[in-house]
């Protein structure tokens, strides 16, 4: 029997450490990373900041935390007993995160060169001359 199947049988199954649940649900690669995010105060449980990794969470709690460049809002649907595969981990929570608004123009850290890929040698010389301190 899988961890999710056991969890679905008993919704009032108790409590689990917050860092352990975040790791089980595969939001963080290691339990240490999850604990670090919780200790730094970046995780909220039902609107209240969780100050320690051992904060107990249970079925129905709503977690709010940042992951990469988005703020995730999830409701705990099951506690789980192990860190299983991704489909099993996704069954542990209900994602309440609002869909991100798509920007019309993609933001790229690299400049565009008239639809081409890399700049030519001539374009590169022009770029070098336009930089401050180019001829010092």
3 state SS of 136: coil
Residue 16: CA atoms inside 13 Å, Cβ hemisphere, count?
Answer: 24
Tokens of residue 5, six digits: 């199947």
Q: What pairs with residue 57 in β-bridges?
A: 16
Nearest to 19 by CA among 46, 47, 42: 42
CA separation for the pair 9, 4 (Å, rounded): 9
Q: What is the pLDDT of residues 96-134, one digit of tens each?
A: 988 876 555 555 566 555 666 787 888 888 888 877 765
Strands 16-17 and 56-57: antiparallel
Using CA atoms, how far residue 85 sits from 3, 36, 55, 82, in Å, is: 11, 23, 24, 9
pLDDT tens for the chain, 136 residues long, are 455 544 444 455 689 999 999 999 999 999 999 999 999 999 999 999 998 999 999 999 999 999 888 899 999 999 989 999 999 999 999 999 888 765 555 555 665 556 667 878 888 888 888 777 655 5
CA separation for the pair 109, 45 (Å, rounded): 35
The residues, ordered by sequence, that sit 6+ positions from 1 with a Cβ below 8 Å of its Cβ are none
pTM of the model: 0.67
The residues, ordered by sequence, that sit 6+ positions from 45 with a Cβ below 8 Å of its Cβ are 18, 55, 57, 61, 62, 63
């Amino acid at each position: 029997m899988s961890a999710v199947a056991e969890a679905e049988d008993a919704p009032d199954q108790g409590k689990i450490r917050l860092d352990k649940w975040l790791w089980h649900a595969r939001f963080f690669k290691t339990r240490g990373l999850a604990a670090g995010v919780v200790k730094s105060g970046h995780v909220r449980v039902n609107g209240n900041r969780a100050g320690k990794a051992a904060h107990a969470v249970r079925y129905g709690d709503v977690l709010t935390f940042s992951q990469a460049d988005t703020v995730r809002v999830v409701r705990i649907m099951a506690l789980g007993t192990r860190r299983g595969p991704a489909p099993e981990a996704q069954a542990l929570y209900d994602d309440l995160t609002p869909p991100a608004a798509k920007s019309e123009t993609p933001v790229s850290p690299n400049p565009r060169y008239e639809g081409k890929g890399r700049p030519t040698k001539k374009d590169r010389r022009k770029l070098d001359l336009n930089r401050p301190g180019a001829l010092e």
